[in-house]
Amino acid sequence: CGMSPAGLPPASLLALAAAALAVAAVAAWRRPRPLREVLFFPSPPCCLEALLAEAPARPCPCPLPRADTSLSRLVRRLLSARRSLDLCIFSFTCPQLARTVHLLHRRGVRVRLVTDAQYMGLPGSQIGRLRRAGIQVRHDQHSGYMHHKFAVVDRRVLITGSLNWTTQAIQSNRENVLVVDDAACVKPFLDEFERIWEEYNPANYSFPKVGH
């Protein structure tokens, strides 16, 4: 009397059912929420000193608003990097984003930057400045463009979209940036980055023969 068909006392069965439901609920609750952020541009000019100042600084005296904007959100995402930042950026002229990348480099984050050979030499390009700061930069050697505009933070978070890292694009264009962390999206971009990084290794550059 008091034993169930499975040979267990009924109270154990009730506990078993409750435990199964509890495990399912905890598993659903503990699964980290996937990261999905969409940023649209243009983004109004804003002061990023509070994010980018290296020492806790006095409040910046500039008249720009310290608003939460698409640009400030993008900068925050980049600044979350602790170990690595892999960048594939077609056109890079925005001083604020260059400062962000430089800051990460000084913090010891491993920054690798791939860019387009034709655009890196244009006026306003931040590539030379970043190179002089010691950041590794590689570029294509093709007539086609290295037209990607993506970043991978800590090999875990993908930031991609239509936005070139230019002040013109940030302040004047209709643009989008998508931030996601699911591996099915991130992994192909990491692989593409590694493919390009190797392909653009300076050891592989070819130089036209120069006559005497």
Which CB sits closer to a second copy, 40 or 62?
40
Binding of a second copy by 152 (CB under 8 A):
no
Give the chain's length. Answer: 212
Residues belonging to the active site:
147, 149, 154
Site mask for a second copy (CB under 8 A), range 55-94, x = bound: ---------------------------------x-x----
**Cβ-proximal residues to 208 (8 Å cutoff; 6+ apart), any chain:** none
Q: Least Å distance between CB 58 and a second copy?
A: 34
Report the DSSP beta bridge partners of residue 115.
Answer: 89, 139
Contact region for a second copy (CB under 8 A) — 65-73, 75-83, 103-111, 164-172?
164-172
Site mask for a second copy (CB under 8 A), range 172-191, x = bound: xxxxx-x-x-x-xx--xx--
**Cβ-proximal residues to 79 (8 Å cutoff; 6+ apart), any chain:** 51, 100, 103, 104
Order of all β-strands in the sheet with 110-115: 136-139, 110-115, 84-89, 149-153, 157-161
Return the residue of 144, 202, 208, 211 that touches a second copy, per CB under 8 A.
144
Which CB sits closer to a second copy, 52 or 197?
197
- Is residue 175 within 8 Å of 161, Cβ to Cβ? yes
**Cβ-proximal residues to 164 (8 Å cutoff; 6+ apart), any chain:** 89, 90, 91, 92, 149
Q: Which residues bind a second copy (CB under 8 A)?
A: 1-6, 8, 10-11, 13-14, 16-17, 20-21, 24, 34, 36, 38, 40, 42, 88, 90, 140, 142-150, 160-163, 168-169, 171-176, 178, 180, 182, 184-185, 188-189, 192, 196
